[in-house]
Amino acid sequence: MDIDRIQGETIFVTGGAGFIGSTLIGRLLDSNRVTVYDNFARNALQEKSYNGHPNLTVVQGDILDYAKLRRAMKNSTYIVHAAAIAGIDSVIRSPVTTMSVNMVGSYHVLQAASTLKNCKRIVCFSTSEVFGQLAFRSKETSPAVMGAVGEARWTYAVSKLSVEHLAYAYYKELGLPTVTVRPFNVYGPGQVGEGALRAFVLQALRGEPLRIHGDGTQIRAWCYIDDMVDGILCAMVKDEAVGQSFNIGNQKTVITVYGLASTVLRVLRSTSEIQFIGADSVDIELRIPNVEKAKSLLGFEAAVGLEEGICRTASFYRAKIQE
């Protein structure tokens, strides 16, 4: 990937203190100025060795505060909009905040970006949840499914789908160079939010039972954080990305949730037991991406296998537990 194309730029990352944003900026800081704009509801940045890097500016701000957001974004040439309410527990707890931050906040980011003089790219984040409960080899053109009103989980998918529509509308109507990425189950060192793989690794390392919501037959494909970051960098660099949405995931790491728990135990040589607890909400039964579009247009292909990814993730959390 031609990341050298991004040099000497002024990059504005909303949600830059989060899991994905804070990892991404590590790849950009040495040759660019980066501003992280985050309300610090979560903070993975504090763990990073490059927190305090001379090219890094940190602004504590909310994307719902348009005036502050616009001021902080001034003179930026690249926008990565990762800020969101994400993670199913947070979404179910706060569906109103989920919809206002993800919809109104994203509108603010796109509107502020439309006032920039030299904006080269705006990368927005959607989600694989837009494909609904049964997503088998879902393509970017597969129909989006939103689920029933009254089921809080779907407020996340609906709000993220609206971001996609909005990003595309700003491209189509106002010529903004927008791209949307749809991450599929990202995991790895530095994850601060919710996520089954993070929970299983932590439980295994602490010798606690691995707790599965539901019966464990749910199927997922797991994408290691470094692959996800490669996908975002491709979306920032490649001209072909503009005006498009891309599935970013690893279609080779497909496994049931029970299979995942068993694999974590085996790979980490843990003697923890597996427990089944009630599901908190409707669940996604099947979620496997088709990543052909990202491969052919962006040259993106996930490289990190599941067992390797589990080992790298465990090394990170093991060191934290020992701190």
Ligand X SMILES: NC(=O)c1ccc[n+]([C@@H]2O[C@H](COP(=O)([O-])OP(=O)(O)OC[C@H]3O[C@@H](n4cnc5c(N)ncnc54)[C@H](O)[C@@H]3O)[C@@H](O)[C@H]2O)c1
Task: Decide: is 192 part of the binding site for ligand X (CB under 6 A).
Answer: yes
Task: Decide: is 101 part of the binding site for ligand X (CB under 6 A).
Answer: yes
Pick the closer one to ligand X by CB: 34 or 84. 84
Tokens of 258: 């029970």
Task: Decide: is 316 part of the binding site for ligand X (CB under 6 A).
Answer: no
Look at the block and give the residue holding tokens 């970017």.
140
Four-point Cα dihedral 239, 85, 57, 1, nearest 10: -30
Backbone φ and ψ of 36, nearest 5°: -95, 125
Task: Decide: is 84 part of the binding site for ligand X (CB under 6 A).
Answer: yes
**Closest CA relative to residue 184, chosen from 15, 100, 80, 302:** 302
Pick the closer one to ligand X by CB: 26 or 193. 193
Pick the closer one to ligand X by CB: 177 or 183. 183
Tokens of 223: 């994408």
Four-point Cα dihedral 154, 158, 159, 164, nearest 10: 140
Candidates 1, 41, 145, 146: give the one binding ligand X (CB under 6 A).
41
Task: Decide: is 63 part of the binding site for ligand X (CB under 6 A).
Answer: yes
The answer to whether residues 170 and 181 touch, using CB atoms and an 8 Å cutoff, is no
Candidates 6, 10, 11, 62: give the one binding ligand X (CB under 6 A).
62
Task: Decide: is 34 part of the binding site for ligand X (CB under 6 A).
Answer: no
Pick the closer one to ligand X by CB: 21 or 231. 21
**Closest CA relative to residue 192, chosen from 318, 322, 321, 43:** 43
The answer to whether residues 312 and 224 touch, using CB atoms and an 8 Å cutoff, is yes
**Closest CA relative to residue 225, chosen from 310, 292, 287, 137:** 310
By CB under 6 A, which span of 40-48, 143-151, 212-220, 249-257 interacts with ligand X? 40-48
By CB under 6 A, which span of 32-40, 147-155, 241-249, 265-273 interacts with ligand X? 32-40
User: By beta-carbon distance, which residue lies closest to ligand X?
Assistant: 18
Binding-site string for ligand X from residue 119 to residue 158, where x marks contact by CB under 6 A and - marks none: ------x-xx------------------------------
Candidates 34, 56, 72, 82: give the one binding ligand X (CB under 6 A).
82
Q: Are strands 219-221 and 254-256 parallel, antiparallel or unpaired?
A: antiparallel
Pick the closer one to ligand X by CB: 100 or 114. 100
Q: How far is the CB of 8 from ligand X (least distance, A)?
A: 26
Pick the closer one to ligand X by CB: 40 or 50. 40
Task: Decide: is 42 part of the binding site for ligand X (CB under 6 A).
Answer: yes
By CB under 6 A, which span of 34-42, 111-119, 168-176, 295-303 interacts with ligand X? 34-42
Task: Decide: is 257 part of the binding site for ligand X (CB under 6 A).
Answer: no
- Residues 74, 83: Cα–Cα separation, whole Å: 18
Strand ranges inside the chain, DSSP E: 10-14, 33-38, 56-60, 78-81, 121-125, 134-138, 178-183, 186-187, 210-213, 219-221, 223-224, 245-248, 254-256, 274-277, 286-289
Candidates 11, 83, 99, 241: give the one binding ligand X (CB under 6 A).
83
Interface with ligand X by CB under 6 A: which residues? 14-15, 17-21, 38-42, 62-64, 82-86, 101, 105, 125, 127-128, 183, 185-186, 192-193
